[in-house]
Structure 1
């Protein structure tokens, strides 16, 4: 496997945490993400399934990737406001227990399974994060681009139309945190006590940081490339016959059968 080395000035390990859940487009999204991560060296992938069991189809995909991965199954906790929060929290706790010895030599990034990632994001930005790194994200929160506002190499605000005066005006895809900082704040994460409606301020407030602790990436480069995009795979099918091919549809049908009339998030076909 060829690993692309884009201005990599650090030997830090990148730890990627990805929450995932069963849906028709999931294998397509996970295939794309895994194919990107396969081009990044010194990377550990933590995948957290929103279920009581892992998916055999996803496990087979992960095995084929050749990546160092850990695949967990953690069902979304009642009272948690949004899908993905439980998975990120479980993944972060796993990292603290398993990789604490890495300390400053690792950076944690929360990568949703359906976004589009430029491989340069990992070596140019994430691997070089000393404390907290921030960068632009495309197609997010009603913006073509949401990005940190930078003056004299310091973050002074946020370029966004979505609640522009909020303290933490970035998306989960737009930042990474050095593992050492996460270890210094063992309770930082997402739980029932978080009063915020968005996951980003929940984590940042627990880390007790300010804008001065943020390092902006990609501001001085030209052109200003966007290295991560918020995307969603749209599925519109009329025929669910898979003709023997693996598409997780049987699991979706079974899950839908047993979740009718029950409260909770709808199954996304």
Structure 2
């Protein structure tokens, strides 16, 4: 009886239960061995015997493909991985799959509500050789924060392509507006923040839709941010939240002085008599407070000894009693934001070979 009898259509139609599952498997592997033999012959004689020897030898395999579907030639022995390597990789995959899901990511460990309120970050920015590095670091943090809109205001006449590409890569909803500083304004983001406040008041629905339940935070592009700042502090602000900031004002920490849950003063090194002696990174304001006022930073602030925070918060109609301190639940307080500054070297790009790379 020829071997290919085992897989003829007639035999398939007349196959009885007495054949058994193992007889079926045995037939499969016998045919597979003959198919492997035909593959070896083809490799040995290559093109010369392809149509003669291969067609003859593979007739059985062709019928096998009718029974089992399309069959690909087996991998040559010279290309096969040693058994111990296969077992090694399978073991690694098994161990990884066992522990996947038991090791929570930093983001998944955060307490994020089901329908979180929108966080709106306002960031003034300007050309400098460290800008792309600073914004990349910031983007890699806030891109992990759900329900966040990033308003970036460029101190210039036009948008910068490299910055826009960076914003696109975050996959965050963003607004990128060029607004060159006008004469009479300090070159420290004052005019850019005012531009953002104007846009926010005029086009609120573009950012938050029909909801006004959002919190506004002024985040500089060169600061360092802990993800918990957004979920544990900013997201929970009801009117105006306040917290400590690291590496600011010539000291390691600036913070509000709090007694019985109320802000009574300021732990700062510079001009502590200010009504709101806080850094720009140390507070966030509910959107309704901003929408119910026309207050802006302006071009100067004598009440704040030159610092803009006091004038803005006072002009918004806020008092110390409105301040909601965060981060004081334990005896040892953690910092979630640092007023860092990336060191800028002095480079003459006209005398340097940039090798085709994009720099500012």
**Contact between 2:300 and 2:308, CA under 8 Å: does it hold in 1?**
no
Unaligned segments of structure 1, at least 5 residues: 249-269
Match of 2:287 in 1: 179
Q: Please, which runs of 5 or more residues in structure 2 have no aligned partner? A: 1-104
Residue 220 (str. 1) matches residue 334 (str. 2): no
Per-residue deviation, residues 169-220 of structure 1 (Å, max 9, x unmatched):
10000000000000111x2112247544111012111111111000000011
User: Is residue 303 of structure 2 the alignment partner of residue 190 of structure 1?
Assistant: no
| Cα displacement (A) at 1:8 | 3.8
Q: Which has the larger radius of gyration?
A: 2
- After TM superposition, the score normalised by the length of structure 1 is 0.86
User: Taking CA–CA contacts closer than 8 Å with sequence separation of 6 or more, which of the two structures ends up with the larger relative contact order?
Assistant: 1
**Aligned equivalent of 2:316:** 207
Post-superposition Cα deviations, 1:41-75, rounded to whole Å, max 9, x if no partner, equal: 00000000000001000001111111111100000
The structure 1 residue matched to 2:183, chosen from 46, 68, 78, is: 78
In the comparison of the two structures, how many residue pairs are matched?
A: 247
Deviations 1:226-256 (A, max 9, x none): 00001111133667432111112xxxxxxxx
More helix by percentage: 2
Decide which of 214, 221, 243 is 2:355's aligned counterpart: 243
CA distance in 2, matches of 1:43, 1:5: 18
Which of 117, 123, 140 is the aligned partner of 1:12?
117
- For residue 82 of structure 1, report the CA deviation from its aligned partner: 3.9
Residue 55 of structure 1 corresponds to: 160
- 1:1-269 mapped onto 2 (5 Å cutoff): 3-4=107-108, 6-8=110-112, 11-99=116-204, 104-185=212-293, 187-192=294-299, 194-196=301-303, 197-236=306-345, 240-248=352-360
8 Å contact kept, 1:5–1:123: no
Q: Please give the alpha-carbon distance, in whole angstroms, between the structure 2 residues aligned to 1:191 and 1:165.
A: 21
**Higher fraction of strand:** 1
Change (3 A) 1:64 1:126: same
Distance 2:234 2:242 in 1: 9
Distance in structure 2 (CA, Å) of the matches to 1:75 and 1:198: 21
Mapped to 2, the partners of 1:102 and 1:216 lie a distance apart of 29
What TM-score, normalized by structure 2, do the two folds share? 0.65
